[in-house]
């Protein structure tokens, strides 16, 4: 399989995973409304940095440690579920003029348009992207299953093949998150505080639902 084909396959599979509703999509939408277009690229950068380590993990053959290990899977589910519940609760209680997940909501930050302040916002959004991705059990499961297969195909062409798989995948992430930011940041001028509060609560409710869903399987496994 040549490098272009590897990259295209990785991009196609990556898009199919990226467009599926999930915590990172929800947070990107919510933050794009508050912080503007650059949320998408920044969140994608944080997400792609995390995926460098995931790809290396898989390429080095360490996938066997976590694959088919129910204990590891349950721990990921519980940790991810709890984090999503906490984030969801925070969004539900968040008022449009308060800061919780974004520095841009802080009055001291809103009045400061300096480059340094913008960098602080971007750095925090990058970390938020890493946390939301890493604590999503289905992100881990996707890479341990579908991702492992793609990486294995890439290994047939050596390190450059794995690189082609990685860059094809993150291009899908960038495309999707940038599209989300373009759509939802354009509404900043017409979305009122009331609308923002409604969106915060809807996003928070969805995160809580994901959290409960992620906790369900480990709890059922433990009880049975």
Domain count, the chain: 1
Cα–Cα nearest to 169, from 66, 56, 52 = 52
Residue 112 predicted with pLDDT over 60: no
pLDDT number for residue 43: 92
Confidence of residue 164 (pLDDT cuts 50, 70, 90): very high
User: Is 215 a member of any domain?
Assistant: no
Structure tokens at 111: 């009045």
d(CA 25, CA 31): 10
Q: What whole-number percentage of the chain has pLDDT above 90? A: 14
Q: pLDDT: is 67 or 11 the higher one?
A: 11
pLDDT value, residue 9: 86
Give dist(CA 145, CA 143) in Å, integer. 5
pLDDT band at 177 (very low <50, low <70, confident <90, very high): very high
43 belongs to a structural domain: yes
Q: Is residue 79 part of a domain?
A: no
Give a yes or no: residue 85 inside a domain.
no
* Residue-averaged pLDDT of the chain: 77
Radius of gyration, alpha carbons of the chain? 18
Q: Report the pLDDT averaged over residues 27-51.
A: 88
Q: Does 12 map to a domain?
A: yes
Please check whether residue 222 lies inside any domain of the structure.
no
Q: Which domain holds residue 37?
A: 3-69+94-194
Question: Who wins on pLDDT, 25 or 77?
Answer: 25
Does the residue 77 lie in any domain?
Answer: no
At 120, is the pLDDT very low, low, confident or very high (cuts 50, 70, 90)?
confident
Q: Does a structural domain hold residue 32?
A: yes
Asked if pLDDT for residue 51 goes beyond 90, the answer is yes
Q: Cβ(130)–Cβ(46) under 8 Å? A: yes
pLDDT in tens, 129-146: 888 888 887 788 778 777
Cα separation, 25 vs 137, in Å, equals 15
């Amino acid at each position: 399989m040549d490098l272009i084909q590897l990259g295209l396959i990785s991009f196609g599979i990556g898009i199919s995973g990226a467009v599926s509703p999930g915590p990172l999509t929800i947070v990107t939408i919510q933050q794009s409304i508050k912080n503007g277009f650059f949320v998408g690229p920044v969140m994608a950068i944080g997400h792609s940095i995390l995926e460098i380590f995931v790809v290396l993990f898989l390429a080095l053959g360490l996938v066997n440690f976590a694959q088919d290990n129910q204990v590891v899977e349950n721990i990921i589910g519980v940790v991810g579920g709890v984090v999503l519940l906490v984030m969801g609760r925070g969004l539900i209680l968040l008022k449009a003029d308060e800061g919780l997940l974004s520095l841009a909501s802080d009055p001291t930050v809103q009045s400061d348009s300096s480059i340094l302040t913008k960098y602080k916002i971007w750095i925090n959004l990058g970390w938020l992207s890493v946390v939301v991705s890493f604590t999503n059990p289905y992100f881990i499961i996707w890479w341990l299953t579908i991702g492992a297969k793609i990486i294995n195909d890439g290994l047939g062409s050596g390190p450059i093949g794995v690189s082609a798989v990685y860059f094809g995948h993150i291009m899908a992430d960038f495309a999707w998150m940038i599209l989300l930011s373009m759509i939802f940041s354009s509404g900043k001028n017409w979305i009122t505080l009331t609308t923002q509060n409604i969106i915060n609560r809807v996003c928070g409710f969805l995160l809580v639902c994901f959290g409960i869903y992620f906790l369900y399987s480990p709890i059922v496994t433990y009880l049975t």
